[in-house]
Structure 1
Amino acid sequence: MNKNDIKKYIFIAALAIAVCVISQNFHVLANFVSLVLGAMKPLVMGFMIAYIFNILMNYFEKHYFPKSTSKAAAVTRRPVCLVCSFAIAIAMIILVMYIIVPEIAKAFGVLYAEIPPAFTQVRDFALGKLGEYPEIQEQISSLEFDWTTIAEKGSKLLTSGLAGILSSAMGIIGGLTSAVANLVLGLIFAIYLLLRKDKLFRDGNRIRRAYFSEESNARFSRIFHTANETFQSFFVGQFVEAIILGSLCFIGMKILKLPYAAMSGTLVGVTAFIPIVGAFIGAGISAFIILTESPMHALIFLIFLVLLQQFEGNIIYPKVVGGSVGLPSIWTLAAVTLGGGLFGIFGMILGVPLAATLYKLSFNVLEAKEAAEGIAPPEDKKPKKPEKTKKPQKPKKVSRK
């Protein structure tokens, strides 16, 4: 055997030993991977925040004294644009909370006031209809709905299970503290990435040129360019689509004179960031809150939003998001389902652009393979031949006699 054969067999043997060791100690590897992912969570969160805010910051940088060559403009461009981006995001969050929170509090106040009388009406109706069943009437008449009694029973339940509740409360507080700490660290890391992004890009390009071949660099560049283009198109399109859907919901509810129009339009627009199912989540919450005002209004709202969702899904979404992402509906649904099952809401949001990126890259590879093998593309992929324009005929000369 030559040296290459020996190296190949040594590699195969080492790989077999590694597989056996990992299979026998899989729980140790799983714990180690979980620990590493938990430690990397702030960095991943910071990278996601930086990528989203970079889209907005690039827009400001293009309009911040674009023709100026002064040193002051060059030095202040990045910090000023970064501050403007975060200020707009914070202002939007405050505006959304200012619209949604008071309306939800008002709805729960209505529930608190209306549930006991509604319960009494239902009980009296049941007693009137069940005159032939005195035993059932006796059981129903003994039922009472009183918030004071419910509060007393709740306090007794809390007191009896105090140890479990304290442990649960400590767990909730610990989880909330960890989430806040991860968010703060992610924001700090995102600010650093945004302020130093030019140097980071230059260093990354130097490393690629030093350690990889030109062919590998070209392949990496195509992948990164496709992914960046798809993700940016998705986030921008999803933001525009959410604003359009929320505005149409608000205008339609005002025309139909439905209650909670501002809150419902804002909630539907915010939840529309989640592809496919987001608007329905916002519609369910809004319908429940409108139900506290009038069941008929809630029914009208649901019918209106179903029609609006059909209009949005067939006309607005394909024009604003679908064309730029380029992912068929069936794969969009699969990406949302799989991403939500694995990573929750963030998985549902990021699953669509990630699936669209893989979809585009796989079809680029397929088309290149077909071209190399001399296989003709499908009929719908063939470029259309330009129509031949007829040459204008010269006017006939009229002979004058």
Structure 2
Amino acid sequence: MNKTDVKHYIFIAMLAIAVIVISQNFSVLASFISLVLGALKPLVIGFMIAYIFNIIMKFFEKHYFPKSNSRAAALTRRPVCMVCAFAIAIAMIILVMYIIIPEIASAFGVLYDEIPPAFTSAKDFVMGKLNEYPEIQEQISTVEFDWANIAEKASKILTSGLAGILSSAMGIIGGLTSAVTNLVLGIIFAIYLLLRKDKLFRDGNRIRKACFSEEFNEKFSRVFHTANETFQSFFVGQFVEAIILGTLCFIGMKILKLPYAAMSGTLVGVTAFIPIVGAFFGAGISAFIILTESPMQALIFLIFLIILQQFEGNIIYPKVVGGTVGLPSIWTLAAVTLGGGLFGIFGMILGVPLAGTLYKLSFHALEKKESELGIATPDDKKQAKLPKPQKTANPQKPKKVSRKK
């Protein structure tokens, strides 16, 4: 055997040994991967924040003294635009909380005040219908809705399970502290990425050109640009679509004179960031809150939102988001389902642009392979069926008649 064959067989042997070791110690490997992912979580959060805020920053950078070549404008462009992007995001979060939280608190206050009278009315109604059965009526009459008794029983349960509650509370506090810490570190990392993004791109391109072949760099650039274009189009389109849906919901509820119009429109718009199923989550919460005012109005709201969802899904979403991502409806539903099952809400949001990127790249590879094999693509067949424009014969110019003197 020559040296090439020896290296080949050694590589196969090492790979087989690695597979055996990993299969026998899979739990240790899973724990190690979980530890690494937990350590990288702030960096991942920071990268996601930087990517989304970079879309907003680029808009401000295009309008921040675009024709000025002064040094002051060049030095202040990046920090000012970043501050404006974060200020808009914070203002939107505060506005959403200012609209939603008071309305939800008011709805739960109404619910707390309405449950005891509703229970008493229901009991009286049942007793009136059961006059023919005095034994059952006597049993129902003994039923009382006593808040003091319920509170006493609840306090006993809490006292008996105090240790479990304390441990759960400590777990919740620890989880909340970890989430806040990861978010703060992620924001700091995002700010660094946004301030140094030009230098990071230049350094990355230098490393890529120095360490990899030209063919690999070409493929990497195509994948990167396709993914970047798809993700940016998705986020912008989803944001516009959520604003349109929330605004239409608010206007429709005002026309129908339904309560909690501002809260419901905001909640439906915010949850619409989750493709396909997001608006239904907001609709369910809004319908439950409207139910505290009137069951009939809650039913009218659900019918109205179903109609609005059909209009939005068939007309607005394909125009605003569908055309930019380029993913068929069935694959969009599959991406949302699979992403939600694997990674929760973030998987549902990121599943659609990721699937759109893979969809575009796979069809690009398919068209390239068909072109190499000489197979006609559907676009070529369409072009072949189109009638070719016929060339009209040039009209003969009249001959000039020479005049003799």
TM surpasses 0.5: yes
Equivalent in the alignment of 1:374: 374
User: Do the aligned partners of residues 382 and 217 (structure 1) sit closer, same or farther apart at CA in structure 2, a change above 3 Å counting?
Assistant: farther
Residue 133 (structure 1) shift: 3.2
Aligned residues: 394
For 1:11 and 1:259, locate their aligned partners in 2 and report how far apart those are by CA, in whole Å: 70
Opposite residue 230 of structure 1, the aligned amino acid is: T
Query: What is the percent sequence identity of the aligned residues?
Result: 84
User: In angstroms, what is the RMSD of aligned CA positions?
Assistant: 1.6
Equivalent runs, 1:218-297 vs 2, <5 Å? 218-297=218-297
> In the alignment, which residue of structure 1 is the partner of 2:389?
388
Letter paired with 2:353: P
Instruction: After TM superposition, give the deviation of residue 391 of structure 1 in Å.
Output: 5.5
69-78 vs 151-160, greater mean Cα deviation: 151-160
- Shifted more, 220-229 versus 370-379: the winner is 370-379
- In 2: Cα distance, 1:371 partner to 1:380 partner: 11
Equivalence map 1:14-29=2 (5 Å): 14-29=14-29
Inter-CA distance 132–340: structure 2 relative to 1 (3 Å threshold):
same
Say yes or no: does 1:43 pair with 2:36: no
Matched residues in 2 for 1:390 and 1:84: separation? Answer: 58
CA distance in 1, matches of 2:243, 2:28: 47
Partner SS for 2:68: coil
Report the Cα offset of residue 145 of structure 1. Answer: 1.8
Deviations 1:246-266 (A, max 9, x none): 000000000111100000000
> How far apart, in 1, do the equivalents of 2:2 and 2:392 lie?
73
SS class of match (1:47): helix
Indicate whether 1:129 and 2:121 are aligned: no
TM-score w.r.t. length of structure 2: 0.94
Deviation at 1:144, TM superposition (A): 1.8
- The whole-number CA distance in structure 2 between the counterparts of 1:348 and 1:276 is 9
Post-superposition offset of 1:191? 0.3
Cα deviation for residue 148 of structure 1 reads 2.9
Counterpart in 1 of 2:309?
309
**Structure 1 unaligned runs (5+)?**
395-401
Matches of 2:390 and 2:56, distance apart in 1: 45
Q: 1:388 is matched by which residue type in structure 2?
A: P
Task: Summarize the Cα distance change of 1:96–1:387 in structure 2 as closer, same or farther, 3 Å threshold.
Answer: farther
Q: Which runs of 5+ in 2 are unaligned?
A: 396-405
- 1:94 to partner: Cα distance: 0.3
Q: Which amino acid aligns with 2:39?
A: A
SS of structure 1 residue aligned to 2:230: helix
Against the structure 1 CA distance between its residues 55 and 145, is the aligned structure 2 distance closer, same or farther, given a 3 Å change threshold?
A: same
Aligned to 1:338: 338
Deviates more, 1:293-302 or 1:124-133: 124-133
How far apart are residue 130 of structure 1 and its match? 2.3
What is the CA distance between 1:387 and its match in structure 2?
A: 6.1
Amino acid at match of 1:109: G
Map of 1:354 onto structure 2: 354
| Amino acid across the alignment from 1:345 | I
Residue 375 of structure 2: SS of its match in structure 1?
coil
1:120 and 2:96 correspond:
no
